[in-house]
Amino acid sequence: MRRLIPLLLALLLGLTACDSLIKREHLSVTPHIEASIPSSQPPITNSPIEISDRTELRGAVLSFIRDWTEQGFLQVRNYSGDINADLEETIRYATQEDPIGAYAVDYIDAELSGTAEEGAVALSIVFRRSAAEIDAIITVSGNSSAYDKIRQALRSFDVALTLRIRNYREADFEQLIYQYCLDNPSLVPVLPTLSAQVYPKEGESRILELHFGYPVSKEELRLIQSEVQTIMNSASSYVRSGKSDLEQAQLLCRFLSTRFSYTLSDSFPQMPAYELLCRGEAHSFSFASVFYAQCLSAKLDCLIVSGNRGEVPHYWNLLRIDGKYYHIDLLRSLEQGETELHLLSSQELLEEGYSWQAEAYPPAVEEPEPDEETTTETQEQDSSTAPTEEPDESTVPPTETTEEPTTETESSSSESVPQPPDGSSSQSSEETP
């Protein structure tokens, strides 16, 4: 019996401790708080912006656009002017004349309640661009700075670029981009597909939106760039050994004709230098563009001509040698098994079915120049058939030897690059924004 009493006491003490523990745990529980879910929309401001005139009204609306605010509220206090007319004018300006508004906003609804002395304006803005797209806009001053950003984007193979250009001047940015790619195949070995839009259509400050399309990934383009650059540098070193413009052109022709094996291609090349030099796919535009770029590197006066051979679109070059322009068609030479430079006249091309807009380019040599060996042989034949008796000097007038002056043809402002495949116009490579 004595043994049972301590056991019962221990049991009672244990129950008391458990009860105390349960009470302490219950009292220490804190209420559960649900974690907030981050919103994809910018927060709506709770404090309305006060406006009292048109300047403050316009500034408030434009700030909502730049902050990507879909719902905004304005507090009207002692407004000076016609607030209804100012609202209409402000919405028109924000969506049609302001660069960012014209670029980013679809439409704006405004509802006025109360009076001009004490009222409120509720704004509803519908955007066609995301907040990230607005944040990505880069502001530059002048077309020249814009062109610098575009060149950087091309060399980096960026897929999009949006610029806010202050002091904007009208320019054909698509043609300028196309020309830069032609001039620099070692840096940009691809002719990207391109869309360009300007917002608004008028004004000193505008948004230029560019989107570039590439046939392969950026990583692949980096490898292609390296391959093309290696071969183009090799060609430049080889061509520089020429002592004259003609010798350099001959070396370039020999380099392109003998260093590679080609297969003819009917598809217009999007990566002309790479497809020609690294994959051996020969298209007239590939030959013409690579020859043009190498001549540009060697400071030779060369153009790309866009025309037809028969009924098929065709490209070739105009090269100035000793003040005269000659036609050069490396694909024609390849097809005929020629490896040396062949200077062609306009008459020779016309007789072979070529056609082009001749007035758009500097005038080339019209007639084929006589071959020196043929001329010498003809002169010898003429002298052998001449009468052996010397004529009476008194009856033959003295012969005056005259030389026709050679006039150097100046490079005009005509097109130096072909029309893109979509038929849009081309401009000189010297034009920059």
Q: How far is CA 224 from CA 187, 230, 275, 279, in A?
A: 10, 10, 10, 11
Name residue, tokens 């009856």. Answer: 395
Q: Is 78 left (phi over 0), alpha (psi -120 to 50) or beta?
A: left
pLDDT at position 9:
44
Cβ-proximal residues to 415 (8 Å cutoff; 6+ apart), any chain: 303, 306, 360, 361, 425, 426, 427, 428
The pair of structure tokens assigned to 98 is 């302001």
Q: Rounded to whole angstroms, how far apart are CA atoms 228 and 273?
A: 7
Lowest mean pLDDT among 11-20, 46-55, 367-376: 11-20
Arithmetic mean of pLDDT, 282-294: 97
Beta bridge partners of 195: 211
> Is residue 414 within 8 Å of residue 362, measured between CB atoms?
yes
Mean pLDDT for all residues in the chain: 81
Q: Find where tokens 């300028």 sit.
A: 176
pLDDT at 367 (0 to 100): 87
CA distance 259 to 352: 27
Q: Give the pLDDT confidence score for residue 319 in this predicted structure.
A: 97
Identity at 202, one-letter amino acid code: E
Summarised one tens digit per residue, pLDDT across range 136-171 is 999 999 999 999 999 999 999 999 999 999 999 999
**Number of helical (H) and strand (E) elements in the chain, helices listed first:** 14, 14
Residue 22 has pLDDT above 80, yes or no: no
Which DSSP helix (H) or strand (E) runs through 294?
helix 284-297
Q: Please return the burial class of 302, using the count of CB atoms within 10 Å of its CB with bins 0-12, 13-18 and 19+.
A: buried
- Quickly list DSSP for 218-262: HHHHHHHHHHHHHHHHHHHHHHTT-SSHHHHHHHHHHHHHHS---
pLDDT score recorded for residue 414? 35
Cis before 200? omega within 30? yes
Residue 395 CA to chain centroid, in angstroms?
A: 73
Beta 105-114 vs 281-282: how paired, if at all?
A: unpaired
Residue 208 neighbours by CB under 8 Å, 6+ apart? 146, 161, 162, 163, 165, 173, 196, 197, 198
pLDDT of residue 147: 97
- Check residue 371 and give its pLDDT: 56
Strand partners for 302:
319
Query: Quick one: pLDDT at residue 370?
Result: 67
d(CA 294, CA 282): 17
CA distances, 201 to each of 90, 98, 103 (Å): 18, 11, 11
Q: What is the pTM of this model?
A: 0.73
Residue 429 has pLDDT above 50, yes or no: no
Q: Could you read off the pLDDT of 317-373 as tens digits, one per residue?
A: 999 999 999 999 999 999 999 999 999 999 999 999 999 999 999 999 998 876 544
Q: How confident is the model at residue 420 (pLDDT cuts 50, 70, 90)?
A: very low
More confident residue, 32 or 367: 367
Q: Are 288 and 328 in contact (CB under 8 A)?
A: no
Alpha carbons 75 and 121: distance in angstroms, whole number? 7
The helix (H) or strand (E) run that includes residue 155 is helix 142-155
From the centroid of its chain, how far is CA 96?
A: 26
Using DSSP's 3-state secondary structure scheme, residue 268 falls into coil
Model pLDDT, residue 160: 97
Q: Which residue has the tokens 């090799």?
A: 234
Phi and psi of 339, rounded to 5°?
A: -115, -10
Q: Is residue 57 scored above 60 in pLDDT?
A: yes
Question: pLDDT tens digits, residue range 77-102?
Answer: 999 999 999 999 999 999 999 999 99
Residue 46: pLDDT band by 50, 70, 90 thresholds? low
Give the per-residue pLDDT at 25. 37
Q: Please give the residue that has the higher pLDDT: either 429 or 250.
A: 250
Q: How confident is the model at residue 34 (pLDDT cuts 50, 70, 90)?
A: very low
Q: Which fold has domain 49-129?
A: Translation Initiation Factor IF3 (3.30.110)
Question: What is the spatial distance between Cα 394 and Cα 56, in angstroms, rounded to a whole number?
Answer: 103
Position 47 confidence tier, pLDDT thresholds 50, 70, 90: confident
Detail the DSSP E strand segments found in 167-205.
Answer: 193-199
**Domain at 219-360: CATH architecture:** Roll (3.10)
pLDDT band at 423; cut points 50, 70, 90? very low
| 380-419 per-position pLDDT tens digit | 444 444 444 443 433 333 333 333 333 333 333 334 444 4
Please give the Cα distance from 410 to 323 (Å, whole number).
8
CA dist 131 and 64 (Å) reads: 11
Going 247 to 251 to 252 to 256, the CA torsion angle's sign is positive
Closest C-alpha to 427, from 80, 66, 178: 178
pLDDT of residue 35: 39
Q: pLDDT per residue over 163-219, tens digit each? A: 999 999 999 999 999 999 999 999 999 999 999 999 999 999 999 999 999 999 999
d(CA 7, CA 4): 5
